[in-house]
Amino acid sequence: MTITTTTLDTADSNLVLGETLRPLLTHAMGSAVEVFDTSGPAEAGPPPHRHPWEEIYVVLSGQLEVTVDGSARIVGPGGAAHVPSNTVHSYRNVTDVHFLTITTQGDAAAFFFEVASEVEMNPPDIAGVVRVAASHDIEFVM
């Protein structure tokens, strides 16, 4: 067995809906989980959606408001929030925020890469995001 290492300096930088997601560990690297270094300005974050994988957000700095099934909580530095698979959820950056996004089965890395490379983000082409999301079993709930 070999060890897989990645640094922020060598990780891809994917701009998705105003946030930067850098994959530190992905399924393509042989891992059962995916880990992303995530950062963004206040008020950024995805709209309500669901997907077949679990997510965990670990806040390193700033504040993140996480909403799961209509219940919202603010998570600060050192805090974590868990989102079960197939659960409607969203989050909003209350302040500039830096956090880790950890996902289970599914392929979040492929989704983030495809959106960042194929969909206009300034301003965001929401129809394009929804199209790519559907091909990755992600459903936006508007």
Which residue, among 10, 3, 80, 8, has the nearest Cα to 37 in the 3D structure? 8
* CATH superfamily of domain region 14-140: Jelly Rolls (2.60.120.10)
Q: What is the mean predicted confidence (pLDDT) over 114-141?
A: 94
Determine the distance from the C-alpha atom of residue 16 to the mean position of all C-alpha atoms in its chain, rounded to a whole number: 9
Task: Write out pLDDT tens, residues 5-17.
Answer: 888 888 889 999 9
Per-domain boundaries in the chain: 14-140
Tell me which residue has tokens 């990780």. Answer: 11
In this predicted structure, the answer to whether residue 1 has a pLDDT above a threshold of 70 is: no
DSSP assigned state of 130: H
Query: Which amino acid type is present at position 17?
Result: L
Question: 106 versus 97: which is more confidently predicted?
Answer: 97
Structure confidence at residue 57 (pLDDT): 98
Q: What is the mean predicted confidence (pLDDT) over 64-73?
A: 97
Task: Specify whether the CB–CB gap between 41 and 96 falls below 8 A.
Answer: yes
Element spanning 11, H or E: none
Hey, what's the torsion of the CAs at 71, 92, 120, 138, to 10 degrees? -20
Cα–Cα distance, 90 to 17 (Å, whole number): 13
Task: Specify whether the CB–CB gap between 103 and 93 falls below 8 A.
Answer: no
Q: What is the mean predicted confidence (pLDDT) over 83-107?
A: 96
Structure confidence at residue 81 (pLDDT): 98
Q: Against a cut of 0.75, is the pTM above it?
A: yes
Cα–Cα distance, 11 to 95 (Å, whole number): 24
In this predicted structure, the answer to whether residue 71 has a pLDDT above a threshold of 90 is: yes
Q: 3-class SS at 87?
A: coil
